[in-house]
Amino acid sequence: MAKLIDGKKISAALLEKVKADVNELKSAGTEPCLAVILVGDDPASQVYVRNKKRTCEQVGIKSIEHLLPKDTSESELLSLIWSLNNDKSVHGILCQLPLPSHINEKTVLCAIDPDKDVDAFHPKNVGHIVIGDAELLPCTPAGVMEMLRYEGISVEGKNCVVVGRSNIVGKPMALMLLAANGSVTVCHSRTPDLSYHTKQADILVCAVGKKDLITADMVKDGAVVIDVSINRNEDGKLCGDVVFDEVSRKASYITPVPGGVGPMTIALLMQNTLTAARLNVIHSENDAESGDKVD
């Protein structure tokens, strides 16, 4: 039977460290601040925003909410983002996705200052992930890497298979596993014979959003199985991409849904906000030094 990777326990430990570091930064005169933008009244997005606000309070990060009506124009949203970019008291900006169909998501994400981009979706931050020197990492795949570290699971030399190629999880997940010296295969909807690839995986990460996609016969004995997705079954209960009851009898480690990767995502958002605040302090000090040298 697989060992359960408890995302609630691991995220709680990480949040305690973030809280201590936030207090240290506050004592030095900087209060980390996260601005969250929500456009429209999507119920799931509202839940996520409430959870983020509650976690900010838990670790001592100042949280500012901008709740905008669904008919907000793209220009109005961009104006708000530019204002937040120029607000030195704001260190992190998060625009909750999805956005209403009349707003171009790419345009909005590119408008956020890369140094305040706590989702790490800006092309500049994606480029840093590719070359391996990123300060800010996408929260969900970074959460997966934190879980592996916590459990003492080495990626180096392992066959790693990522099922899913989204910009939010699949692609950055593959890059992070590669940076940790894993041998990485990325599978997707056009991959023929998916099970051939998944059965080669020492570490299998599933991020498709399709219930019961991964069955026991598709998993190697002793594999580490990370289920990122959140779906609902016929009874309305939360589940992932993996048939948990079957696969847990074959894997060595497995994440549950719920209670696995989900809590890690918000914990890493807090970590990113703290990192962004620290970067702001460094940049301010560098700017001050540069100013002192001007004749």
Tell me what the mean pLDDT of segment 231-249 comes to: 94
What mean pLDDT, rounded, does the chain reach? 95
pLDDT tens per residue across span 215-224: 999 999 999 9
pLDDT tens per residue across span 125-179: 999 999 999 999 999 999 999 999 999 999 999 999 999 999 999 999 999 999 9
Residues noted as catalytic? 52, 96, 119
- Cα separation, 205 vs 186, whole angstroms: 10
Q: Does residue 225 contact residue 202 with C-beta atoms inside 8 Å?
A: no
Q: 292 pLDDT exceeds 70?
A: no
Is 271 strand, coil or helix?
helix
- Cα separation, 184 vs 22, whole angstroms: 35
Structural domains in the chain, sorted by start: 29-113 (3.40.50.10860), 139-261 (3.40.50.720)
Amino acid of residue 221: D
Q: 255 pLDDT exceeds 80?
A: yes
What pTM was computed for the model?
0.94
Tokens 């991964």 sit on residue: 214
H helix intervals, the chain: 7-27, 43-59, 74-85, 105-111, 123-131, 139-150, 170-179, 194-198, 244-247, 261-292
What is the percentage of the chain residues whose pLDDT exceeds 90? 90
Q: 273 pLDDT exceeds 80?
A: yes
Q: 294 pLDDT exceeds 80?
A: no
In this predicted structure, what is the pLDDT of residue 284? 74
Paired with 3 in beta bridges are 253
pLDDT band at 293 (very low <50, low <70, confident <90, very high): low
User: What is each CA distance from 19 to 10, 26, 31, 39, 279, in whole angstroms?
Assistant: 14, 10, 12, 29, 17
pLDDT tens per residue across span 31-55: 999 999 999 998 888 988 999 999 9
Tell me what the mean pLDDT of segment 189-201 comes to: 96
pLDDT band at 288 (very low <50, low <70, confident <90, very high): low
Amino acid of residue 162: V
What is the percentage of the chain residues whose pLDDT exceeds 70? 97
pLDDT tens per residue across span 57-92: 999 999 999 999 999 999 999 999 999 999 999 999
